[in-house]
Amino acid sequence: MPQCHKFLPSIFPQVIALGLSLPVVAENNLRLEEVVVTAQKRSESTQDIPIAISAYNNHTLELKGANDFAKLATTLPALNFSVYPSSSDALIMYMRGQGVNDVGQITREGAVGVYIDGVYMVRPQSVTMDLADIERVEVLRGPQGTLYGRNTTGGAVNIITEKPAGELGFKQSLSIGNRDYWRSLSVVELPEMAGIATKFSYVSSDKDGYVDNIGGSPDYGENRQQGFRFSARADLTDQFSIDYAFENTELESSPIYYQNDLLASPTYSTFPHTKTPRAADMELGDTETTGHTLTLDWSISEKLTLKSISHYSELESVYSQDYMDAAFVYSYYTSMDDIKSRQFSQEIQLVGNALDQRLEYVAGLYYFSDSASHAQTLGLLDLQDNFDPGNNIPSPLNLRYHRYVTTDNESSAVYGQGAYTPPVLDDRLTFILGVRYTEDTRAGVRDLSAEVLEYGSTFPVDVDVEKSVSYESFDPALSIQHQWTDDITGYAKISTAYKSGGLAESSADFTIAYDPEEITSYELGIKSYWLDRRLRLNAAVFLSDYQNMQLDLSPDPTQIQVVNTYNAGSAEIRGFELDVLMQLTQNLQIGVDYAFLDWTIEEVLNPANGSDITNQFSLPYTPRHAYNIALNYTIDTPANSQTDFYIAYSWQDETYMSASTTADKTVKGFWTRDDYGVVNARLSIGFNEVYNGSLRLALWANNLIDTEYEAHRFTAGIGSAVAWNEPRTYGLDIIFEY
Residues 6+ apart with CB under 8 A from 363: 349, 350, 415, 416, 417
Q: Indicate whether 424 pLDDT > 90.
A: yes
Q: Indicate whether 330 pLDDT > 50.
A: yes
What is the average per-residue pLDDT within 541-545? 96
Query: How many other C-beta atoms lie within 10 A of the C-beta of residue 274?
Result: 11
Q: Where does the pLDDT of residue 389 fall: very low under 50, low under 70, confident under 90, or very high at 90 and above?
A: very low
Look up residue 411 and give its amino acid: S
720/88: higher pLDDT: 720
Q: What is the pLDDT of residue 633?
A: 96
pLDDT tens sequence across 4-19: 444 344 433 443 333 3
Detail the DSSP E strand segments found in 124-222. 134-141, 155-161, 169-177, 181-193, 196-207
Detail the DSSP E strand segments found in 303-428. 304-322, 330-354, 359-382, 397-420
Q: Indicate whether 394 pLDDT > 60.
A: no
Q: pLDDT above 90 covers what percent of the chain? A: 59
d(CA 446, CA 171): 48
* CA of residue 583 relative to chain centroid, distance: 29
**The pTM of the whole model exceeds 0.75:** yes
Residues 6+ apart with CB under 8 A from 23: none
In the chain, the N- to C-terminal Cα span, in Å, equals 43
Q: Indicate whether 186 pLDDT > 70.
A: yes
Query: How many other C-beta atoms lie within 10 A of the C-beta of residue 196?
Result: 16
User: ω before 143 within 30° of 0 (cis)?
Assistant: no
Q: What is the pLDDT of residue 5?
A: 43
105/196: higher pLDDT: 196
Q: Where does the pLDDT of residue 26 fall: very low under 50, low under 70, confident under 90, or very high at 90 and above?
A: very low
Q: Where does the pLDDT of residue 28 fall: very low under 50, low under 70, confident under 90, or very high at 90 and above?
A: low
d(CA 594, CA 19): 17
453-467, 547-561, 699-713: lowest mean pLDDT where? 547-561
What is the average per-residue pLDDT within 694-700? 95
φ/ψ of residue 387, rounded to 5: -120, 110
d(CA 120, CA 291): 12
d(CA 273, CA 279): 14
Q: Indicate whether 61 pLDDT > 60.
A: yes
d(CA 121, CA 628): 27
pLDDT tens sequence across 161-173: 999 999 999 999 9
Residues 6+ apart with CB under 8 A from 390: none
716/658: higher pLDDT: 658
Which of 403-439 are b and which e, b meaning 16 or more Cβ less than 10 Å from the residue's Cβ? Answer: bbbbbebbbbbebbbbbebeeeeeeeebebbbbbebe
Look up residue 626 and give its amino acid: A
Q: Where does the pLDDT of residue 117 fall: very low under 50, low under 70, confident under 90, or very high at 90 and above?
A: very high
d(CA 630, CA 54): 14
Q: Indicate whether 95 pLDDT > 60.
A: yes
Whole-number average pLDDT of the chain: 87
Domain boundaries, the chain: 4-215+228-737
267/589: higher pLDDT: 589
Q: What is the pLDDT of residue 474?
A: 94
Q: Which CATH architecture has domain 4-215+228-737?
A: Beta Barrel (2.40)
CA torsion through residues 106, 107, 111, 113, sign: positive
What is the average per-residue pLDDT within 678-702? 93
Q: Indicate whether 3 pLDDT > 60.
A: no
